[in-house]
Amino acid sequence: MIDPDRLVSSRARSVDVSGIRRAFHLGATLENPINLSIGQPDFGVPESLTRATIKAIEDGHNGYTMTGGAHDLRVAVADNLRHDVDWTIGGGESDLIITSGTSGALLLAFMVLCEEGCEAIVADPYFVIYPTLGPMTGPKIVLCDTYPDFRMTAERVEPLITDKTRVLLLNTPSNPTGVVLSDTEISDLVDLCERRGIMLISDEIYDLFTFADGRGKTGPCPSPARYTKNMLLIRGFGKTYGCTGWRMGYAAGPPWLIDEMAKFQQYSFVCAPSMAQAGLVGAFNVDMSGVVNHFERRRDMVREAFDGVANISDCRGAFYAFVEVPPALGMSATEFCDLAIRHNVVTIPGGVFSERDTHIRLSFACPDEQLTEGLAILRSLMQSAG
Q: What is the pTM of this model?
A: 0.94
CB 138 within 8 A of CB 120: no
C-alpha 94/C-alpha 74 separation (Å) is: 11
**Number of residues that this document lists for the chain:** 386
Query: Distance between CA atoms of 322 and 139, rounded to whole angstroms?
Result: 28
pLDDT of residue 218: 72
**329-333, long-range: CB < 8 A, 24+ apart:** 329/382, 329/385, 330/385, 331/385, 332/357, 332/358, 333/357, 333/358, 333/359, 333/360
- Going along the chain from its start, the domains and CATH numbers come out as 4-45+288-383 (3.90.1150.10), 47-285 (3.40.640.10)
Q: What is the pLDDT of residue 331?
A: 95
For 273-293, letters b (16+ CB in 10 Å) and e give bbbbbbbbbebbeeebeebbe
Give SS3 for 232.
Answer: strand
Left, alpha or beta for 183 (phi > 0: left; psi -120 to 50: alpha)? alpha
Cis, bond preceding 326 (omega within 30 deg of 0): no
For the chain, 386 residues long, give each residue's pLDDT as a single digit of tens. Answer: 887 878 788 888 877 766 666 666 666 677 788 999 988 899 999 999 999 999 999 999 999 999 999 999 999 999 999 999 998 876 555 799 999 999 999 999 999 999 999 999 999 999 999 999 999 999 999 999 999 999 999 999 999 999 999 999 999 999 999 999 999 999 999 999 999 999 999 999 999 999 999 998 777 899 999 999 999 999 999 999 999 999 999 999 999 999 999 999 999 999 999 999 999 999 999 999 999 999 999 999 999 999 999 999 999 999 999 999 999 999 999 999 999 999 999 999 999 999 999 999 999 999 999 999 999 999 999 997 54
Closest C-alpha to 209, from 114, 106, 284, 294: 294
Residue 18 DSSP code? P
